[in-house]
Amino acid sequence: MKVAIMQPYFLPYIGYFQLMASADVFVIYDNIKYTKKGWINRNRMLLNGKDSVFSLPLMKGADSLNIAERAISPDFNKMKLLNQFHGAYSKAPY
């Protein structure tokens, strides 16, 4: 039996899904300390041909909080982010 363990990521890279597919059991390890400037709530997109980092805003909390204890800020504007994705990728060939 193959077991794989990874932290959660917002829009994970292809290797994350390949690891999932190769394992019999996949564990999302979210009861560990949240790391600032990590990839848990951040990612990149190509915007006008250049890397652009974006992040999901999180509610304020103590640095000692685990990943599972974090929450997205109520001020988060999901339509703004979706419109950025649309503008960046709507004319992409694939």
> pTM for this structure?
0.78
**What residues contact 4, with CB distance under 8 A and at least 6 apart?**
19, 20, 22, 23, 25, 26, 27
Mind listing the pLDDT tens digit for each residue in 22-78? 999 999 999 999 988 889 999 999 988 899 999 999 999 888 899 999 999 999 999
* Phi (first) and psi of residue 86, to 5 degrees: -60, -45
